[in-house]
């Protein structure tokens, strides 16, 4: 089994956290430059992560999760978990848009530009909702939604995309799970930007 992706990506990190100490090969890629052709060869949507296993090529973290959940007989997600992951992905996708736009030289802090204003609004709404869910205990268990959440919050902080310091419940969840397998090894601060 081989996992392709950037060491800094929160979407890749969640799968690495899910795999934990299992035996697999992680292949870090520079998806913006030298490894772009290799990514195209495996994934037509040009997104990471990509999982290669037993003749299967799987795109995107949610599909990879479903595959690994079947393979390892993991506890199934309930609808509330799926909703939480959708909110996490909403914030993450909006942050990726802002990051790529900034990397392209655009002023993403221009709130007169509707597109950027909407991305900032989406991130704020999502983080508020997730902070409330964290206060209610949604992410106390070390399961896939918690892995998705810590990957997002840590990435936002590490890349200085959003000031998450005021989200006490999200930061509590991050520290609560700090000693889980692969948390230190996958810290986004260990990957030099710009990759994801």
Rg over alpha carbons for the chain, rounded to the nearest Å, is 16
- pLDDT at 32 (0 to 100): 78
Name the residue among 172, 148, 176, 11 with its Cα closest to residue 84.
148
Portions of the chain given CATH number 3.40.30.10: 2-74+183-190
Say whether pLDDT at 129 is over 80: yes
- pLDDT at 192 (0 to 100): 62
- pLDDT at 170 (0 to 100): 98
pLDDT in tens, 69-97: 999 999 999 999 999 999 999 999 999 99
Q: What is the CATH number of domain 79-176?
A: 1.20.1050.10
- pLDDT at 152 (0 to 100): 98
Long-range contacts, 60-67 (Cβ 8 Å, 24+) = 60/11, 61/11, 61/12, 61/14, 61/15, 61/148, 62/89, 64/15, 65/14, 65/15, 65/18, 65/144
Say whether pLDDT at 16 is over 60: yes
Two tokens, residue 32: 């913006």
- The strand order across the sheet containing 50-53 reads 25-28, 2-5, 50-53, 56-59
Two tokens, residue 134: 């964290």
Portions of the chain given CATH number 1.20.1050.10: 79-176
pLDDT band at 54 (very low <50, low <70, confident <90, very high): very high
Say whether pLDDT at 196 is over 70: no
Say whether pLDDT at 194 is over 60: no
Whole-number Å distance between alpha carbons of 13 and 6: 9
Record the pTM. Answer: 0.94
Q: Work out the mean pLDDT of the chain and round it to a whole number.
A: 93
Half-sphere exposure for 115 (CA within 13 Å, toward CB):
6
Task: Give the pLDDT mean for 102-129.
Answer: 95
The residue among 36 and 24 whose pLDDT is bigger is: 24
User: Domain 2-74+183-190 belongs to what architecture?
Assistant: 3-Layer(aba) Sandwich (3.40)
Say whether pLDDT at 34 is over 70: yes
pLDDT band at 190 (very low <50, low <70, confident <90, very high): confident
């Amino acid at each position: 089994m081989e996992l392709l992706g950037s060491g800094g990506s929160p979407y890749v990190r969640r799968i690495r956290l899910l795999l934990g100490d299992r035996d697999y090969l992680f292949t870090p890629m520079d998806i913006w430059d030298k490894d772009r052709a290799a990514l195209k060869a495996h994934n037509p949507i040009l997104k990471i992560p990509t999982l290669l296993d037993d003749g299967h090529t799987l795109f995107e973290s949610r599909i990879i999760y479903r595959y690994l959940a079947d393979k390892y007989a993991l506890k199934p997600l309930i609808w509330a978990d799926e909703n939480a992951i959708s909110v996490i992905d909403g914030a993450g996708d909006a942050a990726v848009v802002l990051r790529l736009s900034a990397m392209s030289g655009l002023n993403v802090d221009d709130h007169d530009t509707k597109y950027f204003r909407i991305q900032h609004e989406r991130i704020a709404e999502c983080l508020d909702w997730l902070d409330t869910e964290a206060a209610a205990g949604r992410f106390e268990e070390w399961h896939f939604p918690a892995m998705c959440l810590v990957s997002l919050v840590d990435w936002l902080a590490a890349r200085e995309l959003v000031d998450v310091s005021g989200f006490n419940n999200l930061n509590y969840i991050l520290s609560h799970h700090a000693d889980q397998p692969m948390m230190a090894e996958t810290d986004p601060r260990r990957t030099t930007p710009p990759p994801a």
